[in-house]
Homo-oligomer: A and B are copies of this chain.
Amino acid sequence: MVKRTCFEDAQCPIARSLDAIGDGWSLLIIRDALGGRRRFSEFQKSLGTAKNILAARLRALVAHGIFELRPASDGSAYQEYVLTDKGKDLFPVLVALRQWADDYLFEPGEEYTRLVDRKSGKRVRRLELHAQDGRLLRRQDTELVRVP
């Protein structure tokens, strides 16, 4: 069930991330979960996935500790899939993908959703990367070093 052997013991953090969530549906499920969905049928309706696929993905995400199963909050006998902290912390990944898409994958008038600051209602700024001392860093200002 989703067994990407070549990534599994990869040293690269990006490869590891992709092993956990790099399958095309996972991030959409997590997006929905961050939007408040929690029930199997909610995900299924929202995503339009085949039920077997969704079941397999949710099982894998639970196994990875990104979701956990909990008794339904409305008191019913069913269960809910809720994001763990690990899952919630994928938020920046989703924001990065969203901002990139906004920049390059949408036509000018085509905007569809907007991520806003709840307080002001205004659009958020671009994700920023800073140095320890606070300087704003561009890609070229950074470097990847190996620590053995």
Contacts and interface: CB of A to CB of B under 8 A. Distances in A.
A82 interface: no
5 contacts: A14-B101, A17-B97, A113-B146, A115-B143, A125-B129
B14 A28 contact: yes
B139 A91 contact: yes
Given A28-B14, A99-B92, A122 B113 contact: no
Chain copies in complex: 2
Main secondary structure of the interface of A (DSSP, over half): mixed
Interface of A: 4, 6-7, 11-18, 20, 22-24, 27-28, 31, 34-35, 48, 65, 86, 88-106, 111-125, 127-133, 135, 137, 139-147
Contacts of A114: 144-147
Contacts of A48: 6
Given A18-B24, A22-B27, A116-B142, A13 B129 contact: no
A34 B138 CA distance: 13
Contact of A113 (B13, B20, B95, B106): B13
